[in-house]
Amino acid sequence: MAAAANETMPAGTGVARWDADPILSVEHLTMRFGGLVAVGDLSFNVGRGDITALIGPNGAGKTTVFNCVTGFYKPTEGRIVMRHGPGRQEEAVREVTASGLRWQRKGPGGVYLLERMPDHEISHKAKVARTFQNIRLFGGMTVLENLLVAQHNHLMVASGYTIGGILGLPGFRKAEAASIDKAVHWLEQVRLLDRADVAAASLPYGAQRRLEIARAMCTDPQLLCLDEPAAGLNPRESAELNALLRLIRDAHDTSVLLIEHDMSVVMEISDHVVVLDYGVKISDGTAEQVRNDPKVIAAYLGVEDEDEIDVPEVQEDIHHIAEHQAGHDGDSGKGPGA
C-alpha cells in the first residue's frame, strides 16, 4: 500500500486512487439536528491503504461525520459503504442495498452498509475502530488490561459463551495467549511495554493518546478513525504520532481516517485530504492540491471574497492559526483533565 501512497491515480485510469479502490464511501450523507443541517449531502471516498484527513474550521461537521460512520448517530439521509477486499464491488453494493440486509460477505470480500448497522457491529463485523476527541480509556485498569478488554469479544467467542473461560478450556487458553501476544505487540509499537502494569490514568497525556490507538488496533480494524489524535501533543509527540500512523498504514495494512486541526500533521502524513465547511465539502485532493485551494484558504480565514486573497501570505497565516488553535485546544478541555 505504501508504495502506491504517493501516486494519486492508478496508471492509465484518470481516476483518483481513492475513487478507484475505496475502503469507505460516504454517499450523499445528511445529518440534521432539528433545524440545523450539520452535514449536508456530503460525498467522499477513503482510499484503501491511505491516510485520509478530514479537516475544516470548528463546527464544520467533522465529528458528526465520524459519529455517522461509527454508528453513534443514525444519518438523516445517505449511504455509508465499507468494503473488505479490493475494488468498488458495485454489484455487491447494489445487491445488499436492494436486499435490505446490513452486509454481504463473499470469500475474502464483503460490503457493509454502516448506516444500517449498530455501533458494535460496525466495530466487530465491518472492522472500523475509532478513538475520541476526549480520551476514553478505562483509567482505573492497567495499560495491559485496557488492551485485553478491547479483545473481549474475541475471547467470548473462544469461550463458546460458556464458563469455558473460567474453566480454562484449551481453546480459550490459546485465544487468551494470542490476545496477550497482540497486546504486547502493540505496547511495543507505542513504546508502553515498560508501563504495562500501571493504571492507564497515571500515564502522561501523550502516552494515553498512544494507548488509545493501541487499544483500537487490538481489534484488528481495517479502517482506523482518529478524532484529533494530535490535540494536546508537543512537537516531539506529534512527530512520533506521524511515525506511528505511517507504521499502521504501511506495516499493518490498515487505512486511516483522521480529523485533525494540526496542519503540520495533516500536510505531512496525509495521502488524501477532504475539507468541510458548514457541513459541505469544499475541497478534495492531495495535501498539496488542498493546501493551494483558495476555497480552503477562504474558509479558514472566514474571507468572503476569494479574489482578495494574497495566497502565499495567507498560507502563512493559516499555519499560524492552526498552531494557535492546537495550542488553544490543549488549554480548553481537550487536555488530560478533560
Ligand X SMILES: Nc1ncnc2c1ncn2[C@@H]1O[C@H](COP(=O)(O)OP(=O)(O)OP(=O)(O)O)[C@@H](O)[C@H]1O
Binding site for ligand X (CB under 6 A): 33, 36, 38, 56, 58-64
Comparing CB distances to ligand X, the nearer of 13 and 134 is 134
Sign of CA dihedral 168, 173, 175, 181: positive
Q: How many CA atoms lie within 13 A of 147 on its CB side?
A: 31
Comparing CB distances to ligand X, the nearer of 168 and 333 is 333
Nearest residue to 259 (alpha-carbon basis) of 97, 49, 58? 58
CA dihedral 100, 254, 330, 134 (to 10 degrees): 40
CA distance 287 to 97: 33
Comparing CB distances to ligand X, the nearer of 34 and 100 is 34
CA distance 117 to 57: 29
Nearest distance from residue 335's CB to ligand X, in Å? 15
Comparing CB distances to ligand X, the nearer of 111 and 296 is 296
Nearest distance from residue 112's CB to ligand X, in Å? 23
CA distance 222 to 4: 17
Contact 112, 102 (CB under 8 A): yes
Nearest distance from residue 167's CB to ligand X, in Å? 45
Longest CA span, the chain: 73
CA dihedral 116, 120, 125, 130 (to 10 degrees): 100
CA distance 291 to 288: 5
Nearest distance from residue 129's CB to ligand X, in Å? 19
CA distance 17 to 273: 13
Nearest distance from residue 80's CB to ligand X, in Å? 15
Q: Which helix (H) or strand (E) holds 297?
A: helix 294-301
Q: Identify the bridge partners of residue 226 per DSSP, sorted by sequence position.
A: 258
Nearest distance from residue 76's CB to ligand X, in Å? 12
Comparing CB distances to ligand X, the nearer of 63 and 238 is 63
Q: What percent of the chain is helix, strand and coil (3-state, nearest 5)? A: 45, 20, 35
Nearest distance from residue 35's CB to ligand X, in Å? 10
Contacts of residue 154, defined as CB under 8 A and 6 or more positions apart, other chains included, come to: 175, 179
Nearest distance from residue 322's CB to ligand X, in Å? 12
